[in-house]
Structure 1
């Protein structure tokens, strides 16, 4: 059974990388968002209680985004990047590539700013 189908990719996400080496005229560090992927279609897959073994905080703060497989010529997605979905920012905890079938990749994310 496949992880997703093309028709399920009904959410739009953006993948950014925060560059904190940007210094303004006053010497202050001002984070700058470098857009890696301006628009990707994704399927948002929320975890259920069985997958997190009863840890409610994990259930509340984590989500998964299923996207089409990224090819080697496209920018590489890493864990130092962030996902923006519906004006909510998520840290990428893991990026699982579908190396066997090269069909779907999974971004495991956690809401930014949540404890």
Structure 2
């Protein structure tokens, strides 16, 4: 089965090397069904910040992307991430299409 962006064979091959799994709402169910430990899975809504330790803030931000499998469309949330430490910030849009949400995430200067 082809999971495109959530590639099951790849994730299963890497499973023993994956630490925390941080995903948008509704995506964690896939990881649970594939046997990932519950305490390793963090599902979050847009505009949520996770602080898994004191050195890294993970900001879950909007993305423009449709999700779904077969007839079940938009049952999970596609997200982008901003990773922030005391020394750096990095934004990862994932497979997001361009949209107005970028103006709120990265204000024009």
Q: Which has the larger radius of gyration?
A: 1
Confirm or deny a common fold (TM above 0.5). Answer: no
Normalised by the length of structure 1, the TM-score is 0.31
Normalised by the length of structure 2, the TM-score is 0.32
Higher relative contact order (CA 8 A, sep 6+): 1
Q: By percentage of residues, which structure has more helix? A: 2
